[in-house]
């Protein structure tokens, strides 16, 4: 067995996490995974995929993870015309019950796009991208597509998606690319993955987060485009080693609490699959790693339990650091907290992977939905410029 000198430690929520030699989970075999998710999921091979082959077991259910902030989500749902007032008075109305056990939160607004707020938010994000690039860093956007749009076939009868919402992801991506960011099209990539393997579950049925499978699809695609387009030099330190899959079973998705009490028993625990992290080998096993030149900044979808960071590190062949905050604090607060951190001051990364959610692209920094983390739009931009010296 490879040896390492590091112990597993508990870390506070939202902390900056840098990869280090770790014992990880003991694999069922010594086989190492270094492949693309195309191969892992039996998706037809495309140009640019890597390494070996590992099959996923059959996928019918999914994990339930961290609870969202009720306060933030109620505020996000407030503009919902008729349902808005009822949702505030009756928390159980915050979800619609779909088909085959799927739950849909009302705050993922599908009937109408707030165009002025959408444009305002994209302008702020674009200015932030320009400021970060002015600080000599590449910006990569990990924009997680709308869960409801990708599983629309399970929505309640009569629920429709507005044409503006259908076009939202592509319009936002184009605007962020014009500002100079690398923006992989995860919406199209997720659609391709599910078309190739219909049982592939990229989001949880009763929870707002993606599954580790969805996180892996995204990480492989983002790493592929970073390798091809950013021209990053080889890292002197290796990426994380990943092995076979292990089953994860958790109970109680964060949407079940809004289901009428007499129906909650219908929504059982779910399971998914996540890569095991293998110990480092050779000299890397004896050194604590603080040399990451790529950092992920975002909210709870990129927290360690979903496995996005290890796969990105594995596919980039380099250490990747992580700084995340809960969803109710938002991506703008998360970015400023990272830029204020000792980690950033000690080592400025070559690239920042900024995690955004499609459904929040009409929620700028000054929106009260962010609670205590909301801030004036111009303050957000001025703080980024000050912190990166742009």
Tell me the per-residue pLDDT of 248-258, one tens digit each, with 9 for 90 and over: 877 778 999 99
Going by DSSP bridges, is the β-strand pair 294-298/321-324 parallel, antiparallel, or unpaired?
A: parallel
Helical ranges in the chain per DSSP H: 37-40, 70-77, 81-89, 115-134, 147-150, 163-178, 186-196, 212-229, 308-316, 330-339, 342-346, 377-388
The DSSP code for 197 is -
Contact at 8 Å (CB) between 294 and 320?
Answer: yes
**pTM exceeds cut of 0.85:** no
pLDDT tier for residue 314 given thresholds of 50, 70 and 90: very high
What proportion of the chain, given as a percentage, has pLDDT over 70?
A: 74
- Rounded CA separation 284/223 (Å): 22
Asked if the model's pLDDT at residue 35 lies above 80, the reply is no
Q: Give the model's pLDDT for residue 289.
A: 54
Q: Give the model's pLDDT for residue 218.
A: 98
The residues near 7 (Cβ < 8 Å, ≥ 6 apart) are none
Average pLDDT over residues 339-365: 96
- Rounded CA separation 144/208 (Å): 11
Q: Give the model's pLDDT for residue 382.
A: 98
Average pLDDT over residues 219-223: 98
Residue for token pair 């992290």: 277
Residue that wins the pLDDT comparison between 334 and 49: 334
Q: Give the model's pLDDT for residue 96.
A: 92
- Rounded CA separation 1/108 (Å): 47
Average pLDDT over residues 320-325: 97
Write out the DSSP string of 221-282.
Answer: HHHHHHHHHS-PPPPSS---EEEEEEEEEE---TTGGGS-GGGGGGS--EEEEEEEEEPP-G
pLDDT tier for residue 34 given thresholds of 50, 70 and 90: low
Q: Give the model's pLDDT for residue 106.
A: 87
Asked if the model's pLDDT at residue 108 lies above 60, the reply is yes
Distance, C-alpha 241 to centroid of its chain: 21
Asked if the model's pLDDT at residue 216 lies above 70, the reply is yes
Q: Give the model's pLDDT for residue 19.
A: 45
Asked if the model's pLDDT at residue 98 lies above 60, the reply is yes
The DSSP code for 55 is P
- Nearest CA among 116, 174, 139, 176 for reference residue 384: 139
- Rounded CA separation 66/305 (Å): 10
Q: Give the model's pLDDT for residue 90.
A: 45
Average pLDDT over residues 185-196: 97
- Nearest CA among 268, 298, 153 for reference residue 207: 268
- The pLDDT mean for the chain works out to 80
pLDDT tier for residue 107 given thresholds of 50, 70 and 90: confident
Q: Give the model's pLDDT for residue 283.
A: 55
- Nearest CA among 26, 62, 37, 42 for reference residue 243: 26
Compute CA distances 139 → 14, 267, 306, 364, 382, whole Å: 21, 39, 22, 19, 18
- Which residues share a beta bridge with 352? 139, 295
Token pair for 173: 């991506």
Distance, C-alpha 110 to centroid of its chain: 20
Average pLDDT over residues 329-337: 98
Q: Which of 7-11, 40-44, 276-280 ranks highest by mean pLDDT?
A: 276-280
Compute CA distances 99 → 24, 123, 130, 251, 264, whole Å: 37, 37, 43, 19, 15
Please report how many Cα atoms fall inside a 13 Å half-sphere around the Cα of residue 327, on the Cβ side: 23
- Give SS3 for 142: strand
Asked if the model's pLDDT at residue 215 lies above 50, the reply is yes
- Nearest CA among 114, 74, 79 for reference residue 95: 74
Residue that wins the pLDDT comparison between 67 and 201: 201
- Which residues share a beta bridge with 87? none
Average pLDDT over residues 102-111: 90
For the segment 114-157, what is each residue's pLDDT rounded down to a tens digit? 999 999 999 999 999 999 999 999 999 999 999 999 999 999 99
């Amino acid at each position: 067995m490879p040896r390492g000198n590091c112990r597993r430690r508990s870390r506070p929520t939202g902390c900056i996490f840098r990869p280090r030699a770790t014992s990880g989970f003991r694999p069922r075999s010594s086989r190492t995974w270094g492949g693309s998710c195309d191969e892992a999921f039996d998706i037809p091979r495309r140009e640019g995929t890597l390494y070996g082959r590992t099959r996923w077991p059959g996928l019918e259910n999914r994990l339930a993870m961290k609870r969202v902030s009720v306060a933030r989500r109620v505020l996000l749902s407030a503009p919902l015309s008729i349902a808005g007032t009822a949702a505030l008075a009756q928390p159980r109305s915050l979800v619609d019950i779909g088909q085959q056990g799927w739950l849909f939160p009302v705050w993922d607004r599908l009937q109408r796009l707030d165009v002025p707020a959408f444009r305002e938010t994209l302008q702020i994000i674009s200015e932030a991208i320009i400021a970060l690039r002015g600080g000599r860093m590449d910006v990569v956007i990990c924009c997680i597509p709308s869960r409801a749009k990708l599983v629309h076939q399970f929505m309640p009868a009569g629920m429709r998606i507005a044409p503006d919402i259908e076009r939202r992801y592509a319009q936002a991506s184009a605007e962020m690319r014009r500002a100079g960011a690398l923006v992989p099209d995860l919406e199209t990539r997720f659609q391709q993955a599910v078309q190739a393997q219909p049982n592939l579950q990229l989001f949880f049925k009763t929870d707002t987060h993606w599954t580790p499978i969805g996180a892996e699809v995204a990480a492989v695609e983002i790493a592929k485009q970073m390798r091809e387009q950013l021209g990053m030099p080889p890292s002197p330190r290796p990426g994380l080693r990943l092995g076979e899959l292990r089953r994860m079973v958790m109970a109680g998705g964060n949407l079940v609490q809004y289901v009428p009490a007499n129906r909650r028993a219908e929504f059982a625990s779910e399971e998914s699959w996540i890569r095991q992290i293998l110990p480092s080998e050779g000299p890397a096993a004896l050194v604590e790693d603080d040399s990451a030149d790529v950092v992920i900044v975002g909210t709870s979808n990129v927290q360690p339990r979903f496995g996005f960071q290890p796969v990105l590190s594995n596919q980039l062949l380099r250490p990747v650091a992580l700084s995340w905050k809960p969803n109710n604090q938002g991506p703008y607060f998360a970015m400023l907290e990272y830029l204020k951190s000792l980690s950033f001051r000690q080592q400025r990364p070559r690239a920042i992977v900024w995690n955004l959610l499609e459904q929040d692209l009409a929620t700028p920094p000054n929106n009260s939905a962010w609670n205590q983390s909301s801030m004036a739009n111009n303050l957000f931009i001025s703080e980024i410029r000050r912190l990166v010296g742009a």
